[in-house]
Every structure is written in C-alpha cells, then in structure tokens.
A and B are shown apart, each in its own frame.
Chain A
Amino acid sequence: MIPDPWTAVLNAVIYLLLAPVAGGLIAGIDRKITARMQGRVGPPLLQPFYDVGKLFEKENLVVTTTQNFYVLSYLVFMAVSGALFFSGGDMLLVIFAFTLSHIFLVLGAYAAFSPYSHVGAERELIQIIAYEPMIIITAAGMYMVTKSFYVSDIIQSAVPVVLYLPGVFIGYLIVLTIKLRKSPFDLSTSHHAHQELVKGVTTDFAGPNLAKIEIAHWYEYVFLLGVVYLFFGFNPLLAIAAIIIAYFLEILIDNTTSRVKWQMTLRSAWLVAGTLGIINLGVLYYLRMVIVP
C-alpha cells in the first residue's frame, strides 16, 4: 500500500527539519557517555552543534572544487533516503539512495590527492561491501514477515517483527557498529586513528564541507535508529527502549574493543549476514511454505 501523500510529505518535512537536531543531540549524549566511561567529565551536551557552527565559520579550503559537489550530494542523498524512509516509502528505494549517498562520499575522498584520503576512501568502500548484504537481508526479512516493502505497512503491522527475525535483528545491530563508525569497525575515519590514517575519508575536507558531512551523519543516525524501531513497530514504548539499549551497547562496544583490520571487518560482517541472516530467512521460509502452507 502506498502511503497517503499528505501524511507522507508532512512526515518527510518533519524528518528533514528535526533529524539534524535529534542526531546532534544523540552525538552529544554519545560523547558525554563515552567520556564518563573513560573517567572524564566530557564536553557539553551541545558540543556537536558548537563544532558544526565553528566549521561554518572557517575558510572552505578545498583541493579541487569537485569536492564541494560530492559533499553536497552526500548530504542531499542522505537526507533524501531518510525522508523516503520516514514518509513510509519503499525500503529498497531507501537502501539504494542510502548506498548512493555513501558512494558520493567515497568519490569526494578520491577527488583529493592525499594518500590518507585514498586509504580512507578504499576502506569506506570495503565497509559498504561489508554491511550491504545484511541491510538487504533486513529489508527482505521484513517483507517476508509483513508482506510489504513499504515502511508505512511494516510500521502498522501488528506482527511482532522482532520475534520472527531475531537473527536478522542481531545481524543488523552488528552492521550498525560499522554504520555508526564505532570501534572495532571504525576503519575509514575515526577520532582515535590519527597516527594511522590522519582522518581517513574526511582528511581533505575542511570547514563548511566537513560541517556538511557531520550534518549528513546526524541524518544517518536518525535513519539507522529508525530501522531499529521497525523491528518493534507493534509496541512504540518497547521500540524506544530497544533503540536506547541498542545505542548504549554500541557505545560500550566502542569503548571496550580495539580497531580490527579490514579483512576481519569484511569477514565478520559477511559471516553474520550469511549465518544469522540467511538461516533466519530460511527458517521463516520453511515455516511459511512447509509447516503452514
């Protein structure tokens, strides 16, 4: 079922306006909790907003002007994929727009000539290859349970999606670590890896361009946690609790693990997709087709 156009547009506009605020607050809470876990006081809650405000006050230093285009495309497509998701659109279209936005970030990093930027871009591509199968399996699993790829249908479904897709849910949480750029999978860019790769994929973006990348990350946070919500669409309170617990676990994993090599990232993400994801879908198929035809 295609969602009602006016509600869809309204939801998309609300997402476009409020997601950066929510995403920035999530980033602020994240930094505060991380600091507490390390025995520090940590920055103010609104620090991510100060950072982005500061970056807009700086000079826009670029190696080549095509970087501006790629960064803007990254931001726009990230916002579009989130808007499609929150307006109740097709999950597959959302995933394609989401992947496309990351391709623009990779192209932007390749446009600069720094070796660190190139290493970051290569690692970003490897990360995309690593998480993509699990994201597609998530969409496929939701289709098998709710018989629809539309977010508006999945969210209204009374079926407890997570009980049918426990393997897919755990698999999604594991690739969420890659997507949120958390240790042990923070290969392409990291606050902690500057001896190794400077800033990886964002090395050659300065000032306003870096600010746009940050805002795109905020849109991304809200979209990714929105997918967690879908697993618990039958009970909104439970869904919000699940989002909070999932995010807290991500911070805990970030602070207790060290960064792995790209081979390990690829292997573990595909292993998860291949075992938890595929077996879950297989069992679901067997139950639907063989036991209850």
Chain B
Amino acid sequence: MSYLTKSPWIIHYDASSCNGCDIEVLAALTPVYDVERFGIINTGNPKHADIFLVTGSVNEQNREILKNTYDQIPDPKVVIAVGICAASGGIFRECYNVMGGIDKVIPVDVWVPGCAARPESIIDGVVKALGILEEKRKAMKRPAGDTA
C-alpha cells in the first residue's frame, strides 16, 4: 500500500448545491465522525488536494470554475460526486441554467447517492475513491503505451 491511501487530502467544491450535502460533508470532520483519523484533511487548495469532492449540479455560471479547479489538482486525482444533484442535476435538472450532473464537465470516479448524502456514505465513497487513486498512481508510474 502506498502513502497516497494513508493521506488523502480533499478539496470540497459546492457547484450549486442547496447546502444539504455540504453540511453533511462538514459533519464528517466533526468529532462524531472525525475523518482525520484516516489522515483525511479538508484543504481549501486544489494544488494540495488528491480528492475532488463536488456537491450540487453544474450550471452555466460555474462550469469554468469547476473545470479550472479540477485542472489545478496535481495527478493522481479522483473526483467524487456527492448527492443526487451532482449525479444527474436532481430536482434542479429541468432549470434553464442547469447543465445536469458534474460529469458533463469533468470525469467522475465515484458517485455517492442520497438527498442529502449521509456522512457515512460520503466516508464510504472516499474509501472507494482511495482504491481508484491507488490504481491511477500505478498507471502514472507505467511508461506510456503499457496497458498491462
């Protein structure tokens, strides 16, 4: 096991969430769940992050910001879409300004369902993402063209 899975730092971005999922994300940092037990830190800086945690649907106003933040995270990185809005647009899907789920703009690795997603399932999603992160790190080490 690499160090990457022991120290995943998260950047949390609220695309256009109703704040329900955001409150649950922050709940995971409180003494009840205390994700720092697993070395998880909620950093506000994409350049220090390994995991991009997005809540809410993407709209015409913030698609650039979402893409820009994603591009600033150094490889290897994974994206977690938290809540039904981040997955498909949720109840905001039909709004004139909403594009839909965040996979319209950036590649998503893990989907966490729920409205709002519970802290337990968010933590579960992060643990799932760690496996993908590890695979991406190994792929980074391989020379280009080697798919084995």
Contacts and interface: CB of A to CB of B under 8 A. Distances in A.
Contacts of A210: 48
A113 interface: no
Interface size class of B (residues with CB under 8 A): 20 to 34
Nearest to A57: B4
B64 interface: no
Interface string B18-61: 00000000000001001011110101110110100000000000
Nearest to A200: B45
30 contacts: A31-B36, A35-B36, A41-B37, A42-B36, A43-B36, A43-B37, A43-B38, A43-B39, A50-B3, A50-B6, A51-B39, A53-B2, A53-B3, A53-B7, A54-B2, A54-B3, A54-B6, A56-B3, A57-B2, A57-B137, A58-B4, A58-B74, A58-B76, A59-B74, A60-B74, A61-B47, A61-B74, A194-B45, A204-B47, A206-B48
Contacts of B4: 54, 57-58
Q: Nearest 9 CB-CB pairs, A to B?
A: A194-B44, A53-B3, A59-B74, A50-B6, A54-B7, A206-B47, A54-B3, A61-B74, A40-B34
Interface string A17-59: 0000000000000010001001111111001001101101111
B135 interface: no
Q: Which of A44, A50, A58 has the most CB of B within 10 A?
A: A58
B75 interface: yes
A219 interface: no
A203 B45 contact: yes
A256 interface: no
Where chain A touches its partner, the secondary structure class is loop
A195 interface: yes
Given A194-B44, A199-B45, A204-B47, A50 B7 contact: yes
B45 A54 contact: no
Interface of B: 2-4, 6-8, 31, 34, 36-39, 41, 43-45, 47-48, 50, 72, 74-76, 137, 140
Contacts of B47: 61, 203-206
A42 B35 CA distance: 8
Interface string A57-98: 111110000000000000000000000000000000000000
Interface string A183-212: 000000001001100110011111100100
B45 A42 contact: no
A258 B2 CA distance: 36
